[in-house]
Structures are given as C-alpha cells and as structure tokens.
Structure 1
C-alpha cells in the first residue's frame, strides 16, 4: 500500500505520525511511506491539504474531516484519549486494515 504523509515543517506533529507509520511498517504491515512537504499556501490549496500531518492512501485521506480547513495548519485527530496531533497506532492499524 502506498501511504503519503503530507506535512509542513513548522508543525511538530508530523514527526509523531511518521514514527508511527514507520513502526507499522517494521511490524510487517505492507506499506510504503512517501513523505511530501507542503511549502506554500498555494501548494496547500492545490493539494487540498487539510493540515499537518495528513495521511493519504492512494491519494485518499484516511481520516477525512468534512469541515477541515485547507492550508498550512497543524491538524488534530480525535483519539480515544481526546484530541491529538496524530492518530494512534491502533487507529492507523484499523484504517489500513480496512483498505
């Protein structure tokens, strides 16, 4: 599976999402992770970038948020422990298992 991690460097949460994706790959999950830095508001608009980090599978956002703003912002995810800067390992496993 081709997973793309969209991020912008000023957001610290992308590194946590990246570590979790790397961990899943090391556990044997068949994923290839491509990291793509978003550099400008224009690029964010063109990509439909809903904040950093965004995790896509074959170009489709794994955690769609209907009212998410497009732009260079930090994204938050609803997790069992409340809002967080990245999905949990279990959340990532679950959405990738369904793909």
Structure 2
C-alpha cells in the first residue's frame, strides 16, 4: 500500500494527522508513509491535493468530496479520526477502492 500525505508549509493540522495515522497503522508498522510539502498550485493539481493535509492511499484521496477541485489550501471540515483511517487502510489493504 502506498501512503502519501501532502501538506502546505507550516500546516497546523499536520501533527494531528501524523499522530492519528501512526495510531491507525499501529506503528511501528511495515507501511511507510511519505510526507510531501507542496508549495505551488501546479503540484497540488498534479498530485491531487484537496487541501492540507491530503492523505493519498495508492494515489487517491478517499476523503475528497466528489467533484472537489484540487487546491493548494487548508482542508475544510473535520480531520479523519483514527477509526476512519483504520477503515480506509483496511479497505485499501483488501484491494478495495478507497
């Protein structure tokens, strides 16, 4: 499973997402998480960033609202809980579409 977190520089939500993702993965785990700092709209669009932080699971953002355009911005709405992250990771691990 490929996990990438896209963040803008100084994202205030990044530490909480890092902690929740760590708990969801029951770290130490064998799943590596790549953290990428995004600084321009072109990269945000190319990578599918829907606000900072964006969690990409196998290259897709399962938390993006349908039709929501990519953007270099803060994520709107609540951050995923540990339980929500576990469910998303389990679905991806089973080969499901997230």
Interval containing the TM-score (normalised by the shorter chain):
0.7 to 0.9
Give 3-state SS (helix, strand or coil) of 1:21's partner: helix
**Judging changes above 3 Å, is the alpha-carbon distance between structure 1 residues 43 and 27 closer, same or farther for their aligned structure 2 residues?**
closer
Query: Across the two proteins, how many residue pairs are aligned to each other?
Result: 92
Distance 2:10 2:60 in 1: 23
Which stretches in structure 2 are left out of the alignment for 5+ residues? 93-98
Give runs of ≥4 in structure 1 deviating > 6 Å.
none
**Which residue of 88, 95, 98 corresponds with 2:91?**
98
Within 5 Å, which residues of 2 pair with 1:58-97?
58-76=58-76, 83-84=77-78, 86-97=79-90
Give 3-state SS (helix, strand or coil) of 2:73's partner: coil
Which stretches in structure 1 are left out of the alignment for 5+ residues? 77-82
Distance 2:28 2:83 in 1: 15
